Amino acid sequence: MFHIHCPYCGEHREEEEFHAKGQAHLQRPADPEACSDEEWGDYLFFRDNPRGIHHELWVHAVGCRKFFNITRNTVTYEILETYRIGEQPSFTAEYPDGRRPQDATREAQAPLKAGVHA
Amino acid sequence: MSDPVIANVRTFDTRTEAKIPVKSPLAYAYRRTGAPAPTGESRVVLRERPFLGHLVLRGGAIVLDEAVRAVLGVPLPGEPQGLTRDAAGERSIQWLSPDEWLLIVPGGEEAALENRLREALGDAHFAISNVSGGQTLVELEGESARELLMKSVVYDVHPSHFPVGKAVTTVFAKATVILRRPDEQCWELVVRRSFADYTYRWLLDAGEEFCLGVER
Amino acid sequence: MSQPHRLGQGGRIDRSCKLGFSFNGKRYQGHAGDTLASALLANGVDIVNRSFKYSRPRGVVAAGAEEPNALVQLGSIEAAQVPNVRATQQALFEGLEACSTNGWPNVQRDMMSLVGKLGGTFMPPGFYYKTFMAPASLWMTYEKIIRKGAGLGRSPMERDPDSYDHLHQHCDVLVVGAGPAGLAAALAAARSGVRVILCDEQEEMGGSLLDSHETLDGRPAGAWVAEALKVLGERDNVTLLPRTTANGYHDHHFVTLHERRTEHLGETAPRKGGWRQVRSRLHRVRAGRVILATGAHERPLVYANNDVPGNLVAGAVSTYIRRYGVVPGRKLVLSTSNDHAYRAALDWAESGREVVAIVDARAEPDGELVEQARAKGIRIITGSAVIEARGDARVSAARVARVDLEAFRVTGEMETLACDTIGSSGGYSPVIHLASHTGARPTWRDDLLGFVPGLVKGVSAAGGAMGTYPTGEVLEEGARAGHEAAAELGFPEGAVALPRVATRRDGAAMALYQVPHVKPTLRAPKQFVDLQNDVTAAAVELATREGFESIEHVKRYTAMGFGTDQGKLGNINGMAIAARCLGKSIPEVGTTVFRPNYTPVTFGAIVGRHCRELFEPERHTALHPWHVAHGAEFEDVGQWKRPWYFPQERRGDVGGERESMAEAVARECRAVREAVGILDASTLGKIDIQGPDAREFLGRVYTNKWAQLAPGRVRYGLMCKDDGMVFDDGTTSCLADNHFLMTTTTGGAAGVLEWLELWHQTEWPELQVTFTSVTDHWATMTVTGPEARRLLAEITDMDLDRDSFTFMDWREGVVAGVPARVFRISFTGELAYEINVQANYAMHVWEALFANGDRYGLTPYGTETMHVLRAEKGFIITGQETDGSVTPEDLGMQWCVGYDKPCSWIGKRALSRPDTKRPDRKQLVGLKPRDPKVVLEEGAQIVFDPNHSIPMPMAGHVTSSYYSPTLDSGFALAVVKGGQQKMGETVYLPMADGQVHEADIVSPIFVDPKGERQNV
């Protein structure tokens, strides 16, 4: 049973109030019709399954009904951070101990990569 | 009944002043499960406050705050889990999410209130939905009310964590409720109509050891 | 009634309070404060059980949760039966009735003991797999006999009269265990003001201090415990939970505690003030920090016949003497490798009974306790160990020999000492179970000869649980843990003054697990490692010889540490033996993972109040009381109770039998097709959608077009996931340009709302639109049938004219005096009005319709009739015709797909994938059985060629099937490969009973294909 900090309610709540919605940061291609079948299939069906740091989409279903992201270690089940839709994680596979603030600022400002796994 | 179309939204007062028999959400539960009257032993008393006006307000906090102040004379609780009431304690407004609030007012006021808010809000992007028929308010009072809630909700109801003026949506047994603490004496549950029988039965069962009584 | 082993004084029992109880049908007496185990020992009951596999007689071995043998079945009546209760943890109460868990027909004379006698050679590990698994078909037969012989208690066959519940607890610091470490930790943490829960599994809090002879600040240890508990009890921020076991440590410091509230009072919960008390309670604790003060378990030594009744762990001997005033025998031999165990011999001697000898594996033991034993004139045999117990139903002697542990062999000087009790101690194992539940690996400490727990962030351990044993150090460590936990949470105050405790000088302990025997392990008499699961040293050795090198594999092959035991006494010994056999060290071999629960938790506590009427929420509509009063049979749809059909008394048979379901449904169907019926449709999900971009949003989430829908109009829509598969449908009405009311399926309501929010919040936050559930606000009544208009006109002034209130229109008006929205939509194919009123008025409006209904033949109908009627029209039900693999095109619903909409709506792109374009996809068709009396089975598989050899290629399956009173025939909807191109062809449905039904593929619209009836 996780204890999850809802970034909108501003406090920790019990897992029973949430639904897990799978991998986070999946961006729907801006122009689906322009995708090849393979690209579209990749968007629809292929997901990461990392050992270690993973970004997940959750929703505070019994609560504020807002979607948000969780960075979770799939080995220890530790939740390293939760953040709102549109924000970028500080803890990533490259920066498992949390990204330094100046990096976070720089990369947040950088344009998102194009493609289905932006 | 039919109100004029304001902007591009259709408002509709589902209430009538005609003498029509109404059934509260708990009416059937009283009959089916029974409603033991409170005794001197009762450490929890349950009371339904049916037929109130319930409005869900959606939109940006700043815009809504201005309109709510103007119309109701109370500020919009901007902080998460906030609950504020007017001086009489009859009208309350509660934070549900960053763009969603619940207004509860005496029954019959809701349609006029909605219209006044719509007028005050003008062209802003907002929404008001009347949900008065879909939920009811249940009050719990007494020295064991908190322990009864500990049996029922996953949320921490310790006074240090749940002070007066707080309100949360949370899991209640296998259903959900809005749980509110308007004052020191009393807890309020906002219960969806279709879950009212289940919620009531649960409270009676869990409240047995506190000699729960029902005030009608 | 005498208690031969009860001392005249001492212990924490109340000798003035006598309690009668029975065990295996015989009456005994004990005292208040006894456990069932201590009372049995006081009465000289040696055999308490038969062993699981070999059926050997077994006695009490330990005094707490680690007891492997004394598992009993409790209960004098059927409803109060409780299996697998540890007698060492069951408080005695007047009238307690218990019997042995194993032993058929009884523990003294056991059928299975024959197996046990033969078992030496016939039952190696893997015996059951190797012997009984072939042929596989006979395992079921073997199993019944083996289970009856072995047994593990039985569940009650009658309804449990007691109630159980859950309590959701939240605290800053949870302290598990109320011995010296736990008490000190709780005192320190509580002082800082944080919220503390202190739980302890025993009848009394205090742990080792309850029977310690030490003094704290010059006072008896027990007095300090009482004082500490008083201080804690008076604090508002502390919750004390005695008789409460922390059984499972889950993610993020979520710990489940099982509190036994009345099990010490009687076999069923007594009443209090007219209410039955809660028998046991599961505390679901979310803690900020957790301090494990769970102490240590003493390890017994592994020697030959160490399971004969009369073999106990040394510490248990002391506990029985000190806490319960019971000496569990007359002549003691103590076999040890450490100083602490000497207490058992000293206590034994003090009680006036004979200590035959202390056998110490160490060459030159020299601690304080050793000196005390010498001073009392107790014989100490050094460099030696008990290598074998003699005796059958009770120990009669101990074989003692000099041992060389380096070489793992007996070096001579055999001596046989007559005795009836052997106490043994191989050292202490910190109780690391809970820490292990978190996934943290324990670490072996050579200096402690034990594993200490691995600790994840937020958890600490203190005292015995960390391998710290001297009381003064334990108190300090506990206080430090409590202080630090509070400080980490931002509450640094809280230094506690700790009592002074004299430190005892102990000599170094020696590593000793399995004692060598004169014969090699595989040929020596059985040396038990895990008494509960009957695992021997030979079994572990054999497992390693057979190639099982991982300790996890050894565990599974031998069953060591399985089940309710969870390896409390035996695991370390087993690992040490495996290490010896494999020529590795213990840390190299590693430990197995302990799992929740630490001790068994009764199902009642797990279930709590979520049972019987409260098992699952029942959602009711505002009209539910009417349905109940009118005899409806109900169907569960999601959590809703919906009327399924309304059986009536058979015509002309008032007060007699009611209609069958088929009769009722046929009558209801006819009423709708010929007169007028009414359905409670309140359960449909309703979502209020507002905002300038509402229309745009609808266009993106529905497959069809919404741009042109005018206020006052209603449209049916299909929703797909982005893979192009249909997942919900319903109608949406345009209330005003920026305002829509969406309906969803009954079961899909919550999911659809979440789906809309998902897309709005994550993909299209720029769209100005909001979604609010109004499902419960409205009650919805569907009035449908050729007479619907005339009936409705009776109670409304609304203009119902067919040309002004047309099909797929909605209007506002007053119905029976109540403001209503009326929708002209039809799921039956007949003229229909869906009347929506605020739920509080629903009953009035419904009854007003019935008050006028007789002359039109108004008939209430349920979901079954609704299904028949809609299927006759070929209307799908998502989740029935669809299963997440069906596209709108598969359903033949291209008319509901906006291929040329400007946006790439959800699901569109997927419809052009090669797989969704395959011509042989399963497509929706109608099926007409050749034999009209046949109603095909839903789910039945369809084949094209019934003579094809098995396995036949499957061509599809039946999705809906009913009898139609209108057609006077069975009919079905089905999905068939390439079905839309196979109209008129015949398919076959081979059934399990050998019958093969024939059916023709037809259009899925069986009634009124032109759709004229809904427009009358």
Contacts of C939 (CB under 8 A, 6+ apart): C957, C958
Q: Do A65 and B171 touch (CB under 8 A)?
A: no
Query: In the prediction, which pLDDT does C684 show?
Result: 97
Contacts 24+ apart (CB under 8 A), B195-199: B195/C617, B195/C619, B196/B25, B196/B26, B196/B29, B196/B136, B196/C620, B197/B28, B197/B29, B197/B32, B197/B33, B197/C618, B197/C620, B197/C624, B198/B173, B198/C614, B198/C617, B198/C618, B198/C619, B199/B138, B199/B172, B199/B173, B199/B175
CA atoms within 13 A on the CB side of C302: 30
Q: Does B127 touch chain C (CB under 8 A)?
A: yes
Q: Does A13 touch chain B (CB under 8 A)?
A: yes
Give the nearest chain A residue to C724 (CA atoms).
Answer: A44
Q: Do A8 and B176 touch (CB under 8 A)?
A: no
Amino acid identity, residue B81? Answer: Q
Residue A109 pLDDT class (50, 70, 90 cuts): very low
Q: 3-class DSSP state for residue B134? A: helix
Amino acid identity, residue C868? Answer: V
Average pLDDT over residues C511-539: 96
Q: Is the pLDDT of residue B1 over 50?
A: no
Q: 3-class DSSP state for residue B46? A: strand
Cis peptide before C951 (omega within 30 of 0): yes
Residue A108 pLDDT class (50, 70, 90 cuts): very low
Q: 3-class DSSP state for residue A92? A: coil
CA distance C723 to chain A (A): 7
Q: Which of C65, C45, C98 is nearest to C309 (CA)?
A: C45
Stronger pLDDT, C1016 or A48, i.e. the higher one? A48
Q: Does B17 touch chain C (CB under 8 A)?
A: no
CA distance B80 to chain A (A): 5
Euclidean distance between CA atoms C989 and C958, whole angstroms: 9
Q: Which of B20, B26, B104 to mutate to test the interface with C (most CBs of C within 10 A)?
A: B20
Query: In the prediction, which pLDDT does C413 show?
Result: 75
Q: Do C757 and A77 touch (CB under 8 A)?
A: no
Euclidean distance between CA atoms C879 and C685, whole angstroms: 15
Give the nearest chain B residue to A16 (CA atoms).
Answer: B171
Give the nearest chain A residue to C905 (CA atoms).
Answer: A32
Tokens of B48: 């339904």
Q: Does A8 touch chain B (CB under 8 A)?
A: yes
Q: Do C690 and B174 touch (CB under 8 A)?
A: no
Of A1, A35, A59, the CB nearest to C754: A59
Q: Do B202 and C167 touch (CB under 8 A)?
A: no
Please give the mean pLDDT across all residues of chain B: 95
Give the C-alpha distances (Å, rounded to integers) separating B41 from B147, B209, C270, C277, C279: 16, 10, 18, 15, 21
- The dihedrals phi and psi of C856, each to the nearest 5 degrees, come to -105, 0
Q: Does B194 touch chain C (CB under 8 A)?
A: yes
Residue A17 pLDDT class (50, 70, 90 cuts): very high
Please give the mean pLDDT across all residues of chain C: 93
Q: Which of C392, C351, C430, C487 is nearest to C176 (CA)?
A: C430
Q: 3-class DSSP state for residue B84? A: strand
Task: Residue C285: count other Cβ atoms within 10 Å of its Cβ.
Answer: 24
C762 contacts on A by Cβ (under 8 Å): 57, 67, 85
CA distance C717 to chain B (A): 21
A32 contacts on C by Cβ (under 8 Å): 904, 908-909
Query: In the prediction, which pLDDT does C860 show?
Result: 98
Task: Residue C1010: count other Cβ atoms within 10 Å of its Cβ.
Answer: 7
Q: Does C738 touch chain B (CB under 8 A)?
A: yes
Query: In the prediction, which pLDDT does C414 show?
Result: 87
C757 contacts on A by Cβ (under 8 Å): 59, 65, 67
Stronger pLDDT, C129 or C191, i.e. the higher one? C191
Q: Is the pLDDT of residue B4 over 80?
A: no
- Greatest alpha-carbon span in chain A: 43
Q: Which of A13, A15, A59, A84 to mutate to test the interface with B (most CBs of B within 10 A)?
A: A13
Q: Quick one: what percent of chain C has pLDDT higher than 90?
A: 89
Average pLDDT over residues A51-68: 97
Residues 130-169 of C with CB under 8 A from B: 163, 165-169
Q: Is the pLDDT of residue C554 over 70?
A: yes
In angstroms and rounded to an integer, the radius of gyration of the C-alpha atoms of chain C is 38
Query: In the prediction, which pLDDT does C120 show?
Result: 47
Contact between residue B135 and residue C776 where contact means Cβ atoms under 8 Å apart: yes
Give the nearest chain A residue to B178 (CA atoms).
Answer: A63
Query: In the prediction, which pLDDT does C710 show?
Result: 96
Euclidean distance between CA atoms C313 and C279, whole angstroms: 32
**B105-144 exposure pattern, b = at least 16 Cβ within 10 A, e = fewer:** bebbbbbebbbebbebbeebbbbbbbbbbbbbbbbbbbeb
Average pLDDT over residues C194-204: 97
**What are the E-state strand segments in C701-777?**
714-720, 726-736, 739-744, 770-773
Q: Is the pLDDT of residue B191 over 90?
A: yes
Q: Do A11 and B80 touch (CB under 8 A)?
A: yes
Average pLDDT over residues C743-755: 96
Which chains share 3+ C-beta pairs under 8 angstroms with A? B, C
Residue C124 pLDDT class (50, 70, 90 cuts): low
Residue A52 pLDDT class (50, 70, 90 cuts): very high
**C642-667 exposure pattern, b = at least 16 Cβ within 10 A, e = fewer:** bbbbbbbeeeeeeeeeebeeeebbbb
Residue A114 pLDDT class (50, 70, 90 cuts): very low
Query: In the prediction, which pLDDT does B89 show?
Result: 92
Residue A103 pLDDT class (50, 70, 90 cuts): low
Q: Return the residue matching tokens 């309804």.
A: C159
Euclidean distance between CA atoms C887 and C918, whole angstroms: 12
Residue B2 pLDDT class (50, 70, 90 cuts): very low
Give the neighbor-by-neighbor strand order of the sheet with C26-32.
Answer: C26-32, C14-23, C96-100, C71-74, C82-86
Q: Do B56 and C617 touch (CB under 8 A)?
A: no
A66 contacts on C by Cβ (under 8 Å): 761
Q: Does C439 touch chain A (CB under 8 A)?
A: yes
DSSP character at residue C803:
T
Task: Residue C208: count other Cβ atoms within 10 Å of its Cβ.
Answer: 20
CA atoms within 13 A on the CB side of C694: 28
Q: Does A117 touch chain C (CB under 8 A)?
A: no
CA distance C274 to chain B (A): 9
DSSP character at residue C454:
P
Q: Which of B11, B19, B23 to mutate to test the interface with C (most CBs of C within 10 A)?
A: B23
Q: Where is average pLDDT lowest: A97-106, C518-527, C777-786?
A: A97-106
Euclidean distance between CA atoms A59 and A20, whole angstroms: 7
Contacts of C488 (CB under 8 A, 6+ apart): C289, C458
Give the nearest chain B residue to A13 (CA atoms).
Answer: B155
Q: 3-class DSSP state for residue C707? A: coil
Q: Quick one: what percent of chain C has pLDDT higher than 70?
A: 94
The terminus-to-terminus CA distance of chain B in angstroms comes to: 30
Q: Is the pLDDT of residue C313 over 80?
A: yes
Over the stretch C846-888, which tens digit does the pLDDT of each residue have?
999 999 999 999 999 999 999 999 999 999 999 999 999 999 9
Length of chain C: 1016
Q: Does A79 touch chain C (CB under 8 A)?
A: yes
C254 contacts on A by Cβ (under 8 Å): 1, 3
C904 contacts on A by Cβ (under 8 Å): 31-33
Query: In the prediction, which pLDDT does C108 show?
Result: 62
Q: Which of A9, A19, A66 to mutate to test the interface with B (most CBs of B within 10 A)?
A: A9
Of C617, C737, C842, the CB nearest to B175: C617
Q: Is the pLDDT of residue C916 over 60?
A: yes
B100 contacts on A by Cβ (under 8 Å): 64-65
CA distance B183 to chain A (A): 22
Q: Is the pLDDT of residue C311 over 80?
A: yes
Q: Is the pLDDT of residue C600 over 80?
A: yes
DSSP character at residue C528:
E
Query: In the prediction, which pLDDT does C846 show?
Result: 98
Q: Does A20 touch chain C (CB under 8 A)?
A: no
Q: Return the residue matching tokens 């705050």.
A: B65
DSSP character at residue B137:
E
In chain A, what are the helix, strand and coil shares in percent, each to the nearest 5? 20, 30, 50
Query: In the prediction, which pLDDT does C119 show?
Result: 45
DSSP character at residue B37:
P
Over the stretch B92-138, which tens digit does the pLDDT of each residue have?
999 999 999 999 999 999 999 999 999 999 999 999 999 999 999 99
Q: Which of C164, C168, C250, C686 to mutate to test the interface with B (most CBs of B within 10 A)?
A: C168
Q: 3-class DSSP state for residue B135? A: strand
Tokens of A58: 């959750």
Tell me the β-bridge partners of C174. Answer: C197, C290
Query: In the prediction, which pLDDT does C55 show?
Result: 87
B→A interface, C-beta within 8 Å: 80-81, 96-98, 100, 154-155, 168-171, 176
Q: Do B80 and A17 touch (CB under 8 A)?
A: no
Amino acid identity, residue C764? Answer: W
Task: Residue C958: count other Cβ atoms within 10 Å of its Cβ.
Answer: 22
Query: In the prediction, which pLDDT does C109 show?
Result: 57
Q: Does C758 touch chain A (CB under 8 A)?
A: yes
Q: Which of C446, C438, C566, C521 is nearest to C66 (CA)?
A: C566
Of C762, C904, C908, the CB nearest to A85: C762
Q: For the complex shown, is ipTM > 0.95?
A: yes
Length of chain A: 118
Kindly tell me the burial class for residue A90, based on how many C-beta atoms sit within 10 Å of its own C-beta (0-12, 13-18, 19 or more): middle
Q: Return the residue matching tokens 């893997």.
A: C126
Tokens of C51: 């062993």
Element (H, E) at C395: strand C395-404
Query: In the prediction, which pLDDT does C272 show?
Result: 83
